[in-house]
Structure 1
Amino acid sequence: MPDFTLHDMADATAILEQMRTGKLSSKKLVQASLDRLHQVNPHLNAATQVFNGQALAAAENPIAGPLSGLPITLKETYALAKEQVTVGSVRMPAIQCKEDAPVVKRLKAAGAIIIARSNIPEFVMTAETSNLRFGRSNHPKDQTRVPGGSTGGEGALVASGVSLIGFGTDILGSIRIPAAFCGLVGFRPHSAAVNKSSVYPESGPYFETFNGIGPITRSVRDARLAYSVIANEPPALPATISGLKLIAPKNYPFEAKDECIDTAYRAALEGLQTAGMVKHEPVLDDIKTLFMNVPKLVTGEMVSVWKDWLSVDGKPFSIINETLRQITGRPTVQPGFFLWLSLINGLYRPRQKTALTGIIETYEHARKNYRTLLGHDALLCLPTIGMLAPKHGAMNRATLMKPGLNKQITAHTLVNMLDLSGITVPARGFSDPKTGLVPGIMLASAPGNEGALLDAAAALEQALL
C-alpha cells in the first residue's frame, strides 16, 4: 500500500514566508494542494467535500492577513454558508447553514483559503473516523490503520501533505488523538478560548465544557500562528521556559502498549529539564474517579439528545429496532457510536438527576484544585495516548468495550475533564522500528497560560527530533 505520510514538506510558517517574498503564489500553492488531495483521497477517504473552483478563485487575489493565501481544511462539523452539516449521520436531517461559523469568518478574514472539509465519526463520538454516510477514513502511512478521531479526516489530510493547517474539535481527545496517530501537532485550547458557535454538534450543558476548538499542524509554531488567529485572546509573546514547573505525576495510571512511547516520554522530561524547567512529581489520587465519571456524564446528558437527533419523521428512535438492524447487517447508526447508545448507556447512565449533579460537582472541585496546582508557572507532561495508530476496529474495541479505568487513554482525557489547554507534540526521533509510526507527548496548562504552553511545546518539539 502507498505511504502518503508527510516527510520533509515545509510547514505553514515557511510556506507563508515564501509567498510574502514572492517565491510562491497562492494560486500555485492551492492548485498543488488540490492536486495532492485528488491523488490521495481515493486511498484515504479523508475529505467529504472539495471546493475546487471556490478555492482557486480565492487564490487569484487572496485577502491580506496572517494566513493570506494559505490552503486549509476544516472538520465537516464547521458551518459554512450555503452548505450543510451532517455530523456523519444518515438518519439525522442535515443542518442547513445560512452563514459561516464565527471561527470560519476569522480564518477567512485572516486570508486562509478553505479547500475541503473532512470526515468524522458519527456525532464525533468515537476515535475511529467512520460513518455510514461518508465511509471510513484511513491512515496515510498504512491504510489498514485508523487516523484517529474524531478529527481523523483532518489528521489524514495534514499528514498526507494536502492541508497546511487543519481545524477540528476536541471533546474527548478528538484533536490530539489523530495528531498523535499521524505524527503531527494537535492543540486543544480550553473550552472558552475560541468561539464555538455554529460548530456542531452542540453537546449537553456541562459536557460542552469538555469541548475545545483548535488546529492540527505540522509544527508548534504553526499551532501558535493558527491559535493567534482564532483565539478570543491571543497567546502571550514567546518567552523563556526556564524556571517553569514541570509536572510529571508519580504513579499516574497510564499504560503504554508500545515501548517507543515510554522512551519518548523519558526523553521529553529530560529535554524540558535541560531547557530549564524544574520537575515536580505529585501524586494524583482522583484520576480513577474522574475517569469513571466520564461515561456517566456523557450518557446522562446526551442519550436523550442523541435519540431526538436520530428520530425520523416524528417516529422516536428505538434502541430495540436498531439493535436488530445492527445484528442483521442493516444498521442506520454507525456501529461504534451505537455502543454509546446501547452498552455504555446501559452500564453507566445515571438513574437519578441528583447523581448527575454530584458528578458535575466532582469535576468542578477537581478543576479548581488542578488549576491551582498548575497556576501560571506549571505545565503537566504525559504521553498523549498509550498506543500507536491501531488497525481498523481495534480503537473502538480498546476505548468503548472495556469498562473501567482504561490506562491507555487516561492522559489525553484528563485535559477534557479538567478543561485545560493541551497540546500533543510528535516524537519524530522515537518512531516505532516495526511500523515507523511516531508517538506523541502531551503538555497541558491552566486556562490563560497558553503562551507558556506553546513555548514549552516548541522546546519539546526540538528535544524529540
Structure 2
Amino acid sequence: QVTCVEVVEAYVERIKEVNPLINAVVKDRFEEALQEARQVDKLLSEGLGDDYLEEKFPLLGVPITVKEAFSLHGMPNTSGLVNRRNVIATSDATVVSRLKQAGAIPLGVTNCSELCMWYESSNKVYGRTNNPYDLQRIVGGSSGGEGGVLAAACSVIGVGSDIGGSIRMPAFFNGVFGHKPTTGVVPNDGQFPNAHGVRTSYLCTGPMCRYAEDLELVLRVMAGPGVSKLKLNEKVSLEKIKFHCMDHDGGSVFVSPVDKEILQAQKKVVEHIESDLGVRVQRVAIHKMKYSFQIWSAMMSSKDSNGQEAQRFTDLLGDHGKPVWPLWELMKWLVGMSSHTLPAIALGLTEKLMKLNHSGNAKLVSMGKSLQEEMEALLGQDGVLLYPSHPTIAPKHHSPICMPFNFAYT
C-alpha cells in the first residue's frame, strides 16, 4: 500500500530523470500536483468507503498529463506558436476539468507540433520531442508529447486530440494506446486551435493511455453526458464481430509502401483472431483509400452545410501577431529568420494552392462522401477494419518532410 503523495513523487522523479532526453513535458506543475496528492491522502484517511470514492472519483489520485494545446489553468497554451508564448491558461478545457473532477492529478503539459498540424512534434517554442525507444526517431504528432511521455512511464493517462492522425500516429509510434472517438462524443472546448465549419466533423478529443484497459474509463470521464451516444454498457461477443483487414492503401504515389514488419505484425493479428475466436477475417480492397490524402485535404478546406468557409491556416499562424504570408515566410526560413517551422509554412502554401482548383476539390469532396458511405456499408454496426496506422515504423527526425503525406493512413 502506498500513499498518493508517494505515487505522484515517483512520477515526478521519473519525469525529471527522462525528460532531459525526450523533451516531452514542456511545463510542469509538480508543486501543485503534490499539494493535490496530499488532499487525496487526507480524503482517503476520512474512511468514506471504497465504493463511494470509486463512484464519485473514478480517477482519484491518478497522475495524468495534458497536451499543451489544451487549457490547463496556470499552464502555457501556445500550441507551439511563438506569438502565443506568453499565453497562460486562466481556466481548464472541459475535458481537463472533467478529469480533475474525477480525481486525476495533472503533472504538466506536453509538446505538440506547431498549431497541431504536423506529425513531428517540434516547434520554435519548445523544440523537438524524441522517441523514448530511440532518441533519433520521432514521437509523431500532433499529440506526440503525450505519446512519448506515456511510453517513457512518466504518466499513465493523457489528453490528446486528432484531426488527421494526431492521436493515432503517436500511439502507434510509441507503443501506447489512443482512441479517436466518434465526432460529438467528447467536447473539443478549451483547445487551440479549435475547429470551425466543416472541420468540426474531423477534430476529436480523446484519451491516450499507457495501458489499453484504461481507455474505456477515461473515455467515459472525458465524454461526460456525451457517453450516452455510445453503447459502452452493452456486452460485446467478439465471435459475432465482423472482422475485415486491409494491408495497404492500394499504392498511392504520394505515400510510402507499408513496411514488411508492419505487414507481418498485421498478419499475426489476423492469425490470432482466427485461431482464438474461430472467426474468419475477410480481406477487403477499398480502392478510394488510395486517394485519402487528396480527399482529406479537399474536405478540410471545403464549406460546411451552411456555406461557412473553413478557417484559414494562415490566419491561425498570425494569431497574437501580424498576418503571415507563406511565400515571404519561406524566404525568411531559408535565411534562418522565420519564427515558424517549415511544415507550417508548407501547409500555408498548400492551402493557397488548393483554393485554385475548385472543380477538382468538388470531385474529391464527392469522392470522400462516397468513401464514407462505402465504409459504413462495409462495417455496419458490428464491423472492425484492421488497417495500418502509418505505412512505416516511427521515422527518423526530419524525414517526414520528405514523405509529408504518409499521415494519409489515418
Residue 38 (structure 1) aligns with: 16
Q: Could you say which residue in structure 1 is the equivalent of 2:138?
A: 146
Q: Percent identity at matched positions?
A: 28
1:166-198 per-residue CA deviation (whole Å, 9 max, x = no partner) reads 110111111111111111112111221211111
Q: CA deviation at 1:35?
A: 0.7
User: Which digits, 9 at most, give the CA deviation of each residue in 1:304-360, with x for residues without a partner?
Assistant: 633223337774322233122111011111112211112x235433444x7656544
The aligned counterpart of 2:351 is 345
Q: Which of 323, 336, 340 is the aligned partner of 2:330? A: 323
For 2:38 and 2:123, the matched residues in 1 are separated by 35
Query: Residues 102 and 277 (structure 1 numbering): CA distance in 2 closer, same or farther, change over 3 Å?
Result: farther
The verdict on how the C-alpha distance between 1:314 and 1:86 changes in structure 2, with shifts beyond 3 A counting, is closer
Does the 8 Å contact 2:77/2:87 carry over to 1? Answer: yes
> For residues 93 and 159 of structure 1, do their structure 2 counterparts lie closer, same or farther at Cα, with a shift above 3 Å needed?
closer
**What's the offset of the Cα at 1:282?**
3.3
In structure 2, the residue matched to 1:364 is 369
Q: Considering only aligned residues, what root-mean-square deviation do their CA atoms show, in Å?
A: 2.5
User: Post-superposition shift, 1:236?
Assistant: 2.8
Q: How many aligned residue pairs are there?
A: 381
- Given the alignment, which residue of 161, 172, 180 partners 1:180? 172
SS of residue paired to 1:242? helix
Please give the secondary structure, in 2, of the residue aligned with 1:98: coil
Correspondent of 1:297 among 293, 296, 299: 299
Does the 8 Å contact 1:91/1:333 carry over to 2? no
Distance 1:102 1:74 in 2: 12
Letter in 2 for 1:149: G
Which residues of 2 match residues 247-286 of structure 1 at below 5 A?
247-249=244-246, 252-253=249-250, 256-274=257-275, 275-286=277-288
The correspondence of residues 7-406 of structure 1 with structure 2, limited to 5 A, is 23-62=1-40, 64=53, 65-92=57-84, 95-231=87-223, 232-233=226-227, 235-249=232-246, 252-253=249-250, 256-274=257-275, 275-299=277-301, 305-311=312-318, 315-342=322-349, 344-352=350-358, 359-400=364-405
CA contact (8 A) 1:181 1:388 kept: yes
In structure 1, give the amino acid aligned to 2:162.
D
Q: Cα–Cα, structure 1 residues 218 and 84, in superposed 2: closer, same or farther, change >3 Å? A: closer
Relative distance call for 1:184 and 1:256 in structure 2 (3 A) is farther
Residue 136 of structure 2 contacts residue 397 of structure 2 at CA under 8 Å; is this kept in 1?
Answer: yes
Query: Measured at CA, do residues 410 and 371 of structure 1 come closer, stay the same or move farther in structure 2, by a change above 3 Å?
Result: same
1:374 corresponds to which letter in structure 2?
A: L
Between 1:276-285 and 1:74-83, the stretch displaced more is: 276-285
> What is the alpha-carbon distance in structure 2 between the residues aligned to residue 304 and residue 101 of structure 1?
21
Query: Matched residues in 2 for 1:99 and 1:276: separation?
Result: 51
Where relative contact order (Cα < 8 A, 6+ residues apart) is larger, the structure is: 1
Shift of 1:82: 4.2
The amino acid of 1:308's aligned partner reads D
CA distance in 2 between counterparts of 1:204 and 1:362 reads: 22
Which residue identity lines up with residue 265 of structure 1 in the other structure? Q
- Asked if 2 retains the 8 angstrom alpha-carbon contact of 1:250 and 1:284, the reply is no
Correspondence for 2:48:
none
3-state secondary structure, aligned to 1:69: coil
Q: In structure 1, what is the equivalent of residue 46 of structure 2?
A: none
Structure 1, unaligned runs of 5 or more: 1-22, 401-407, 414-465
User: 1:312–1:190: structure 2 CA closer, same or farther, 3 Å change rule?
Assistant: closer
2:312 aligns to what SS in structure 1? helix
Amino acid at match of 1:118: T
Match of 1:8 in 2: none
- Offset of residue 96 of structure 1: 4.9
| Structure 1 SS opposite 2:240 | coil
Deviation at 1:126, TM superposition (A): 0.6
- Indicate conservation of the 8 Å contact 1:300/1:349, yes or no: no
Question: Is this contact kept in 2: 1:47–1:157, CA < 8 A?
Answer: yes
Structure 2's unaligned 5+ residue stretches are 44-52, 304-308
**Separation in 2, partners of 1:246, 1:124:** 32
Q: SS in structure 2 opposite 1:108?
A: helix
- Amino acid corresponding to residue 264 of structure 1 in structure 2: A
Quote the offset at 1:289 in angstroms.
3.7
1:154/1:167 contact within 8 Å kept: yes
- Indicate if the aligned counterparts of 2:242 and 2:281 stay in contact, CA closer than 8 A: yes
Indicate how the Cα distance of structure 1 residues 93 and 300 shifts in structure 2: closer, same or farther if over 3 A, else same: farther
Question: Using the alignment, how far apart are the partners of 1:285 and 1:112 within structure 2?
Answer: 44
Please give the alpha-carbon distance, in whole angstroms, between the structure 2 residues aligned to 1:312 and 1:250: 41
Summarize the Cα distance change of 1:351–1:271 in structure 2 as closer, same or farther, 3 Å threshold: same
For 1:320, give the aligned amino acid.
Answer: L
Change (3 A) 1:130 1:142: same
| Aligned-partner Cα distance in 1 for 2:87–2:244 | 43
Distance, in Å, in 1 between the alignment partners of 2:219 and 2:318 is: 37
The worse-fitting range, judged by mean Cα deviation, of 164-173 and 311-320 is 311-320
